């Protein structure tokens, strides 16, 4: 279960926010190596990053860490390991 801080509203995430994140991801395609960190994220943006890593990059498995940023509002995703199908 995911719990949100008071004041967070899912409706505050717009399609422009998604376009910006996807543009950044596509601009850096293939550069998401072990240790790469994405900050300033919301839960649905983490889902988009995971989908990109699995389906666009064609990984068989991805291990990552999600942590709360210092502002206690945004999330940070760090890629720990990626593995392609053998």
The whole-number pLDDT of residue 22 equals 77
Do residues 61 and 82 touch, judged by C-beta distance below 8 A?
yes
Q: What is the pLDDT of residues 27-49, one digit of tens each?
A: 766 567 778 888 899 998 899 88
Q: What is the pLDDT of residues 6-27, one digit of tens each?
A: 665 656 667 787 788 778 777 7
- What whole-number distance in Å separates Cα of residue 1 and Cα of residue 23? 29
- Domain extents for the chain? 34-86
Residue 71, burial from CB neighbour count under 10 angstroms (0-12, 13-18, 19+): exposed
Task: State the pTM of this model.
Answer: 0.59
Helix (H, G, I), strand (E, B) or coil at 5: coil
- Which residue in the block uniquely carries the two structure tokens 């998401």? 32
- What whole-number distance in Å separates Cα of residue 61 and Cα of residue 68? 23
């Amino acid at each position: 279960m995911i719990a949100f801080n008071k004041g967070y509203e899912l409706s505050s995430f717009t399609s422009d926010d998604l376009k910006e994140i996807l543009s950044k991801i596509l601009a850096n395609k293939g550069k998401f190596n072990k240790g790469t960190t994405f900050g300033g994220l919301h839960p649905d943006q983490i889902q988009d990053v995971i989908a990109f890593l699995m389906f666009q990059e064609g990984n068989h498995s991805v291990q990552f860490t999600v942590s709360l940023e210092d502002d206690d509002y945004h999330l940070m995703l760090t890629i720990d390991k990626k593995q392609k199908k053998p």
